[in-house]
Amino acid sequence: MAQPTTMPPSPTASAAAAVRMITTDELRKHATAGDLWISISGDVYDVTAWVPHHPGGETPLVTLAGQDATDAFAAYHPPSARPLLRKFLVGRLADYSVSPASADFRRLLAQLTAAGLFDRVGPTPKVQVAGMLLLLSAALYLVLACASAWAHLAAGGLIGFIWIQSGWMGHDSGHHRITGHAVLDRVLQILSGNCLTGLSIAWWKCNHNTHHIACNSLDHDPDLQHMPLFAVSSKLFGLWSMFYERTLVFDAASKFLISYQHWTFYPVMCFARINLLVQSALFLLMSKRKIPQRGLEIAGVAAFWIWYPMLVSCLPNWWERVAFVVASFVITGIQHVQFCLNHFSSEVYVGPPKGNDWFEKQTAGTLDVLCAPWMDWFHGGLQFQIEHHLFPRLPRCHLRKVAPFVRDLCKKHGLPYAAASFWGANVLTWKTLRAAALQARKATSGAAPKNLVWEAVNTHG
């Protein structure tokens, strides 16, 4: 692979006598939340005062503190955000350089922006809303107007399908505007997420933004930190989580659970929703993080805990109520499996991400799922996860057309472009879990297990 080329200071910067030249070593010294500098396109910014107000939370900024963050910034922000940086400018990076892969990524990003693809969401959001309303109406009819136990069981399954579609809508609206109007987007987020599924969109954003920035970093990416139930690598055993600020305990209990994780994975995924509901509630009620509109988020989740139990209570007996809930959770488990397929079998590493290898890290840590266009609705955009990670603001209706360009860039720079069928991705995930399970059996566990219930409710992702 070609070596990065050193970029000269911009004419404007070099012509201005007041511009301070800053070395990479000096930039690295400002890498804490209380003293946070980043470099974007060679300009250095002191964003310390902005950290508490960053819409994406402070974690992405802290994760990339003290280094170049050009590609991550460009991927997550429209060009209109650039002028907002001016008031934070402190100097120019003297030894600024760009890798060939990053240079090509930025050119492709500029082409997609010029083509207006980031602003055209297509009919997908409207179709989703209509579909969810139709499914909800059918579920209500089957519960309230039908006496058949099979109809009630089918209604539970429909609720699960609604939750899946709500997850795709929340994912899309968290990355880009799906209606063209910020307030309407927020209303849809609360209604389809908090109210309909009981999951806080603020909790999801906090986790998901960090996942994107630190894709497949074992100690930084919360989407790989599922101890004590699952581990994709033995390096997770006893590792300190930078996101949760605690040790991922590898004791006798976690050793036992992980040793059989390739067999328990699918059964656990059937009820993974329970964990997300617990984590969402803990985040809203106990987290010390700054949560925008915390009261609205709590009210939305509270609405879920009113309507869903009321609907269940309309069923004639406890057996049907349990079956209804189980059906809802098991069907939604399909989506939880999908969340894992894109990253569990991909390359992992320990340590913080580096802002100047964005293209390399996102492609190495992600797997696409091959499917026919008519199955795109089923995967909700996750089938083009590599493209989504490179261009998170890109509406999913454009991911298929962008994929060939990404494949060409990977081939040009000798980078992996992993893709497998849905079945093949499941096989790869199972093999990864099995390999880590065998490592767990050989590993020496640490201290005696803490309360297993405590460990379980502190399992994230």
Average pLDDT of the residues in 355-359 = 82
Taking 90 as the threshold, does the pLDDT of residue 8 lie above it?
no
Do 46 and 179 belong to one domain? no
The CA distance from 53 to 397, in Å, is 31
**pLDDT at site 2:** 45
The one-character DSSP state at 439 is: H
Look over the chain and give the mean of its residue pLDDT values, rounded to a whole number: 90
CATH number for 71: 3.10.120.10
Domain count for the chain: 2
Domain stops at, among 70, 98, 126 = 98
**Phi/psi at 115 (nearest 5 deg)?**
-80, -5
- Is the link from the previous residue into 228 a cis peptide, with omega within 30 of 0? yes
Q: 13 falls in which pLDDT band (50, 70, 90)?
A: very low
pLDDT at position 367 is 96
Claim to verify: residue 26 and residue 166 sit in the same structural domain: no
pTM for the model: 0.89
The residue segments making up the domain with residue 307 are 99-461
Q: What is the pLDDT of residues 261-318, one digit of tens each?
A: 999 999 999 999 999 999 999 999 998 888 889 999 999 999 999 999 999 999 999 9
Same domain, 143 and 286: yes
Tell whether the model's pLDDT for residue 127 goes beyond 60. yes
The segment with the largest mean pLDDT, out of 3-12, 48-57, 93-102, 432-441, is 432-441
454 confidence band (pLDDT: 50, 70, 90): very low
pLDDT band at residue 92 using 50, 70 and 90 as cut-offs: very high
Q: In 214-317, which residue ranges form alpha helices assigned H by DSSP?
A: 252-259, 261-270, 272-286, 294-313
- Among 42, 63, 98, identify where a domain stops: 98
Does one domain contain both 252 and 330?
A: yes
Q: Both 129 and 85 in a single domain?
A: no
pLDDT at 282: 93
Task: Provide DSSP, 47-68.
Answer: -GGGGGG-TT-HHHHHHTTTSB
Are residue 294 and residue 249 in the same domain, yes or no?
Answer: yes
- Shared-domain flag, residues 131 and 46: no
pLDDT higher than 70, residue 436: yes
Q: What is the mean pLDDT of residues 350-363?
A: 87
Q: Locate 1 and state its tokens.
A: 């692979």
What are the tens digits of pLDDT across the range 309-348? Answer: 999 999 999 999 999 999 999 999 999 999 999 999 999 9
- Whether residue 147 has pLDDT greater than 90: yes
Q: How far is CA 169 from the centre of its chain?
A: 13
Element (H, E) at 389: helix 385-390
Q: 312 and 181 share a domain? A: yes
pLDDT of residue 341: 95
Lookup: tokens for 384: 């083009």
Are 26 and 107 members of one domain?
A: no
**Cα–Cα distance between 113 and 399 in angstroms, integer?**
14
Of 123, 90, 177, whose CA–CA distance to 392 is shortest? 177
Same structural domain, 109 and 223: yes
Q: What is the pLDDT of residue 446?
A: 56
pLDDT of 253 strictly over 50: yes
Query: Is residue 92 domain-shared with residue 136, that is, in the same domain?
Result: no
Contacts 24+ apart (CB under 8 A), 340-343: 340/269, 340/429, 341/367, 341/369, 341/382, 341/422, 341/425, 341/426, 341/428, 341/429, 342/366, 342/367, 342/368, 342/369, 342/382, 342/385, 342/425, 343/215, 343/216, 343/223, 343/224, 343/367, 343/385
pLDDT at res. 352: 87
Three-state SS letters, 392-407: CCCCHHHHHHHHHHHH
Q: Is the pLDDT of residue 114 over 50?
A: yes
Q: Quick check: 447 pLDDT over 80?
A: no
Q: Which of 86-90, 223-227, 343-347, 356-360 has the lowest mean pLDDT?
A: 356-360
Residue that finishes a domain, picked among 79, 98, 117: 98
Judge if 77 and 216 occupy the same domain: no
